[in-house]
Amino acid sequence: MRPLMMDFGNDKNVLNISNQYMFGNDLMICPVYQYKARKREVYFPEGAGWYNLYDGKFIAGGQKQTVEAPYERMPIYVAAGSVLPIGKIVQNTSQAQNDLTIFIYAGKNGTFSLYEDENLNYNYEKGKYSTIDFNYNDKSKTLSISDRNGSFNGMTKVRNFRIVLVNQKDSHGIDQTEKTSKLVHYVGKKIGIKL
Protein backbone atom coordinates (compact mmCIF):
# COMPACT_ATOMS: atom_id res chain seq x y z
CA MET A 1 0.00 0.00 0.00
CA ARG A 2 1.33 3.43 -0.86
CA PRO A 3 0.09 6.95 -1.52
CA LEU A 4 -0.76 7.96 -5.09
CA MET A 5 2.14 10.42 -5.25
CA MET A 6 4.64 7.54 -5.26
CA ASP A 7 3.25 6.26 -8.57
CA PHE A 8 2.00 9.50 -10.11
CA GLY A 9 4.58 12.07 -8.99
CA ASN A 10 4.16 14.11 -12.19
CA ASP A 11 0.50 14.75 -11.37
CA LYS A 12 0.39 17.59 -8.82
CA ASN A 13 -3.27 16.84 -8.07
CA VAL A 14 -2.34 13.69 -6.13
CA LEU A 15 0.03 15.39 -3.67
CA ASN A 16 -2.59 15.96 -0.98
CA ILE A 17 -4.91 13.00 -1.56
CA SER A 18 -4.99 11.00 1.65
CA ASN A 19 -8.18 8.98 1.14
CA GLN A 20 -7.13 6.90 -1.90
CA TYR A 21 -4.10 4.63 -2.25
CA MET A 22 -2.42 2.14 -4.54
CA PHE A 23 -2.44 -1.52 -3.60
CA GLY A 24 0.40 -3.04 -5.59
CA ASN A 25 1.05 -1.53 -9.01
CA ASP A 26 -2.40 -2.07 -10.44
CA LEU A 27 -5.21 -1.37 -7.97
CA MET A 28 -6.38 2.03 -6.76
CA ILE A 29 -8.39 1.62 -3.56
CA CYS A 30 -10.92 4.32 -2.65
CA PRO A 31 -12.35 3.60 0.82
CA VAL A 32 -15.60 5.12 2.02
CA TYR A 33 -14.70 7.19 5.06
CA GLN A 34 -17.93 9.09 5.78
CA TYR A 35 -20.70 7.52 7.83
CA LYS A 36 -23.61 6.21 5.69
CA ALA A 37 -22.06 7.56 2.47
CA ARG A 38 -23.09 5.65 -0.66
CA LYS A 39 -21.13 7.84 -3.08
CA ARG A 40 -17.75 9.49 -2.94
CA GLU A 41 -15.53 11.71 -5.04
CA VAL A 42 -12.54 9.96 -6.62
CA TYR A 43 -9.61 11.53 -8.43
CA PHE A 44 -8.23 9.45 -11.32
CA PRO A 45 -4.51 10.26 -11.72
CA GLU A 46 -3.05 11.39 -15.04
CA GLY A 47 -0.75 9.01 -16.82
CA ALA A 48 -3.14 6.06 -16.65
CA GLY A 49 -6.55 4.97 -17.82
CA TRP A 50 -8.73 3.37 -15.13
CA TYR A 51 -11.23 0.52 -15.21
CA ASN A 52 -13.89 -0.09 -12.57
CA LEU A 53 -13.08 -3.50 -11.05
CA TYR A 54 -16.73 -4.54 -10.79
CA ASP A 55 -18.22 -3.50 -14.14
CA GLY A 56 -15.10 -2.77 -16.26
CA LYS A 57 -16.17 0.71 -17.31
CA PHE A 58 -13.27 2.93 -18.39
CA ILE A 59 -12.44 6.37 -16.98
CA ALA A 60 -9.66 8.52 -18.42
CA GLY A 61 -7.03 9.82 -16.01
CA GLY A 62 -6.69 13.44 -14.94
CA GLN A 63 -10.22 14.00 -13.69
CA LYS A 64 -12.49 13.79 -10.65
CA GLN A 65 -15.77 11.91 -10.62
CA THR A 66 -18.39 11.12 -8.03
CA VAL A 67 -18.73 7.33 -8.01
CA GLU A 68 -21.13 4.84 -6.50
CA ALA A 69 -20.00 3.34 -3.19
CA PRO A 70 -22.65 0.81 -2.15
CA TYR A 71 -22.48 -0.64 1.34
CA GLU A 72 -21.19 -4.03 0.11
CA ARG A 73 -18.49 -2.76 -2.29
CA MET A 74 -15.65 -0.31 -1.87
CA PRO A 75 -14.76 1.59 -5.08
CA ILE A 76 -11.70 -0.10 -6.63
CA TYR A 77 -10.12 0.80 -9.98
CA VAL A 78 -7.60 -1.08 -12.11
CA ALA A 79 -4.92 0.73 -14.13
CA ALA A 80 -4.76 0.13 -17.88
CA GLY A 81 -1.98 -2.36 -18.64
CA SER A 82 -2.73 -4.51 -15.59
CA VAL A 83 -2.75 -8.29 -15.62
CA LEU A 84 -4.92 -9.35 -12.70
CA PRO A 85 -5.50 -12.97 -11.61
CA ILE A 86 -8.73 -13.74 -9.77
CA GLY A 87 -9.40 -17.07 -8.05
CA LYS A 88 -12.36 -18.53 -6.27
CA ILE A 89 -12.91 -17.83 -2.59
CA VAL A 90 -11.04 -20.29 -0.35
CA GLN A 91 -11.07 -20.83 3.40
CA ASN A 92 -7.36 -21.54 3.85
CA THR A 93 -4.10 -21.96 1.96
CA SER A 94 -4.45 -25.74 1.64
CA GLN A 95 -7.32 -25.34 -0.84
CA ALA A 96 -6.04 -25.53 -4.41
CA GLN A 97 -6.53 -22.76 -6.98
CA ASN A 98 -6.29 -24.89 -10.12
CA ASP A 99 -8.45 -22.57 -12.20
CA LEU A 100 -7.78 -18.84 -12.35
CA THR A 101 -9.40 -16.06 -14.33
CA ILE A 102 -6.78 -13.70 -15.74
CA PHE A 103 -8.13 -10.22 -16.49
CA ILE A 104 -6.14 -8.20 -19.02
CA TYR A 105 -6.82 -4.45 -18.94
CA ALA A 106 -6.08 -2.94 -22.36
CA GLY A 107 -4.47 0.42 -22.99
CA LYS A 108 -0.84 -0.36 -22.16
CA ASN A 109 1.51 -3.33 -22.14
CA GLY A 110 1.37 -5.31 -18.92
CA THR A 111 3.19 -8.04 -17.00
CA PHE A 112 2.48 -10.27 -14.05
CA SER A 113 4.35 -13.13 -12.40
CA LEU A 114 2.24 -15.85 -10.77
CA TYR A 115 4.15 -17.13 -7.73
CA GLU A 116 3.20 -20.39 -5.97
CA ASP A 117 4.69 -22.51 -3.22
CA GLU A 118 3.63 -25.19 -0.71
CA ASN A 119 1.74 -22.60 1.40
CA LEU A 120 2.48 -24.35 4.69
CA ASN A 121 6.19 -24.06 5.43
CA TYR A 122 9.45 -22.27 4.67
CA ASN A 123 10.61 -24.52 1.83
CA TYR A 124 10.36 -21.55 -0.53
CA GLU A 125 13.56 -20.33 1.17
CA LYS A 126 15.21 -23.48 -0.21
CA GLY A 127 14.02 -22.78 -3.76
CA LYS A 128 10.81 -24.85 -3.59
CA TYR A 129 8.46 -22.55 -5.51
CA SER A 130 7.37 -21.84 -9.07
CA THR A 131 6.64 -18.80 -11.18
CA ILE A 132 4.68 -18.31 -14.39
CA ASP A 133 5.14 -15.00 -16.23
CA PHE A 134 2.29 -13.33 -18.13
CA ASN A 135 3.18 -10.63 -20.70
CA TYR A 136 0.49 -8.66 -22.51
CA ASN A 137 1.31 -6.71 -25.69
CA ASP A 138 -1.35 -4.06 -26.20
CA LYS A 139 -0.44 -3.26 -29.82
CA SER A 140 -0.79 -6.86 -31.04
CA LYS A 141 -3.45 -7.79 -28.44
CA THR A 142 -1.54 -10.93 -27.51
CA LEU A 143 -0.84 -12.57 -24.19
CA SER A 144 2.29 -14.70 -23.74
CA ILE A 145 2.40 -17.17 -20.88
CA SER A 146 5.96 -18.35 -20.16
CA ASP A 147 7.34 -21.77 -19.34
CA ARG A 148 6.87 -22.55 -15.66
CA ASN A 149 10.06 -21.90 -13.70
CA GLY A 150 10.79 -24.00 -10.63
CA SER A 151 8.77 -26.64 -8.81
CA PHE A 152 7.65 -27.77 -5.36
CA ASN A 153 6.00 -30.79 -3.75
CA GLY A 154 2.29 -31.02 -4.54
CA MET A 155 2.50 -28.51 -7.39
CA THR A 156 -0.43 -28.48 -9.81
CA LYS A 157 1.11 -29.41 -13.14
CA VAL A 158 -1.91 -28.67 -15.34
CA ARG A 159 -3.87 -25.43 -15.04
CA ASN A 160 -6.87 -23.85 -16.69
CA PHE A 161 -6.65 -20.12 -17.21
CA ARG A 162 -9.77 -18.24 -18.24
CA ILE A 163 -8.51 -15.12 -20.07
CA VAL A 164 -10.71 -12.00 -20.17
CA LEU A 165 -9.71 -8.91 -22.16
CA VAL A 166 -11.23 -5.72 -20.76
CA ASN A 167 -11.12 -2.67 -23.01
CA GLN A 168 -13.04 0.54 -23.62
CA LYS A 169 -15.42 -1.14 -26.08
CA ASP A 170 -16.02 -4.35 -24.10
CA SER A 171 -16.29 -3.55 -20.42
CA HIS A 172 -16.33 -6.65 -18.24
CA GLY A 173 -16.14 -6.71 -14.48
CA ILE A 174 -14.93 -9.46 -12.20
CA ASP A 175 -18.47 -10.84 -11.91
CA GLN A 176 -19.09 -11.06 -15.68
CA THR A 177 -16.74 -13.65 -17.15
CA GLU A 178 -18.91 -16.50 -18.45
CA LYS A 179 -19.47 -15.34 -22.05
CA THR A 180 -16.41 -13.17 -22.46
CA SER A 181 -13.49 -15.43 -21.69
CA LYS A 182 -11.08 -17.60 -23.61
CA LEU A 183 -10.13 -20.87 -21.90
CA VAL A 184 -6.44 -21.83 -22.00
CA HIS A 185 -5.23 -25.27 -20.94
CA TYR A 186 -1.71 -24.73 -19.55
CA VAL A 187 0.71 -27.63 -19.02
CA GLY A 188 3.80 -25.64 -17.99
CA LYS A 189 5.03 -24.79 -21.49
CA LYS A 190 5.11 -21.40 -23.20
CA ILE A 191 1.95 -20.44 -25.01
CA GLY A 192 0.74 -17.37 -26.93
CA ILE A 193 -2.89 -16.25 -27.06
CA LYS A 194 -4.41 -13.77 -29.50
CA LEU A 195 -7.12 -11.77 -27.74
Query: What average pLDDT does range 2-31 have in this prediction?
Result: 95
Whole-number pLDDT of residue 156:
87
User: Considering the entire predicted model, what is its pTM?
Assistant: 0.92
Please check the confidence at residue 87 and state whether its pLDDT lies above 90.
no
Nearest to 67 by CA among 97, 90, 44, 91: 44
Nearest to 164 by CA among 96, 99, 85: 85
Whole-number pLDDT of residue 99:
84
User: For residues 31 and 24, what is the distance between their CA atoms, to the nearest angstrom?
Assistant: 16
What string of H, E and C letters represents the secondary structure of 37-101?
A: CCEEEEEECCCCEEEECCCCCEEECCEEEEEECCCCCCCEEEECCCEEEECCCCCCCCCCCCEEE
Supply the mean pLDDT for the chain: 92
Domains and CATH numbers, the chain: 4-79 (2.60.40.1180), 83-194 (2.60.40.1180)
Please state whether beta strands 159-166 and 99-105 pair in parallel, antiparallel, or not at all (unpaired): parallel
Name the residue with higher pLDDT: 24 or 180. 24
* Percent of residues, the chain, with pLDDT higher than 90: 79
Please check the confidence at residue 96 and state whether its pLDDT lies above 70.
no
User: For residues 153 and 30, what is the distance between their CA atoms, to the nearest angstrom?
Assistant: 39
Whole-number pLDDT of residue 117:
92
